[in-house]
A and B are shown apart, each in its own frame.
Chain A
């Protein structure tokens, strides 16, 4: 877990995973049904 903060690559991967996960949730649970 420490690697995700102390390494730039780790931090990049952690933020990207969190962002893509949040985007996937927004799309699946909200946008898909509400807007299409």
Chain B
């Protein structure tokens, strides 16, 4: 047990490092900051809500730096896309925070936030899951026919509509191999930043699907590029929270120690899978977070009297982290076995790829 002077609580160091480690794996793999998992987890560990939010934002920036460096080495970052989106993201976050403050004044922020989180995440889950299943089936078909398939396969054609918008300036994103109006990228930044600012999260789970389905980038590029956005937004958020005295730096330090190792593993793990595998994990993350938020919404709506709802909300938050880590680790193991010619389940083979391919 370690006594955190600013938070005024005692918590096991091991627990914080483990939380950082697990969220680091998930964040490095699907390109999210993991705020929707870390903040509730820290509150469960006994940290006050405002400190949980501050610690989360600060550790997120550090973790995103580690993941971004690794993704850069893997060639997964499109700097044109990332830098074009930053301005829109910052504007969107500011607008989102203003709407959040307005709902706070009306006294309905808790319910509105949870309800919006459930609707947005459920919608994203359904779209991502349906699209990824179609892509998975096509990969299985191609695998049976013995034809070569690259790292990416998408069945959504939504991006063709947005790429056809002829508003100048048109930007050529060389790494992502996308030619699109800069206004589309900026508007994606504003929209995802707005939702992120309003819902109080980093926004990776909204931005990654947007980059894939609206801008038309590959899943690997979307993950790496989004992590650069998180460095900026998390760094800014962490700085603002630190200036407001909402950060316990010792807690951040222990979480970053775990996250640095986890983020390395999560980022490297993307080299072992095809795009649909990352989108599957992202959609699983969304549905579990939706369930947790829905349980918390029910708990709030029932006047915080049914303790069982609170218990299940906590179990889903912790269980989600364990589940996502196990799934990512098992995909890497399956990939290694598949590369060595060992037998793997039929559904796994189209999702994994040899790291050297």
Contacts and interface: CB of A to CB of B under 8 A. Distances in A.
A18 B45 CA distance: 22
A15 B315 contact: no
B319 interface: yes
Given A15-B326, A35-B45, A23 B315 contact: yes
Contact of A23 (B9, B284, B319, B327): B319
B311 A7 contact: no
A6 B316 CA distance: 25
Contact of B323 (A16, A24, A26): A16
B341 interface: no
Interface residues of B, number: 23
A33 B18 CA distance: 19
A10 to B, nearest CB: 9
Interface in A1-36: 5-8, 11-12, 15-16, 18-20, 22-24, 26-27, 31, 34-36
A36 B318 contact: no
A20 to B, nearest CB: 4
Contact of B345 (A11, A15, A19, A22): A11
B127 to A, nearest CB: 18
Contacts of A35: 9, 11, 44-46
A7 B346 CA distance: 8
B323 A19 contact: yes
Contacts of A16: 319, 323
Given A27-B314, A31-B44, A35-B45, A19 B346 contact: no
Contacts of B318: 23, 26-27
Contacts of A31: 44-45
B12 interface: yes
Nearest to A21: B319
Interface in B304-350: 311, 314-320, 322-323, 326-327, 330, 345-347
B346 A15 contact: no
Given A26-B318, A27-B314, A15 B44 contact: no
A15 B327 CA distance: 7
A23 B326 CA distance: 13
B284 A20 contact: no
8 contacts: A15-B326, A16-B323, A20-B315, A23-B315, A23-B316, A23-B319, A35-B9, A35-B44
Interface of B: 9, 11-12, 44-46, 284, 311, 314-320, 322-323, 326-327, 330, 345-347
**Closest 9 pairs between A and B when the two form their complex, measured CB to CB:** A23-B319, A19-B323, A23-B318, A19-B322, A20-B319, A8-B347, A35-B46, A19-B319, A23-B315
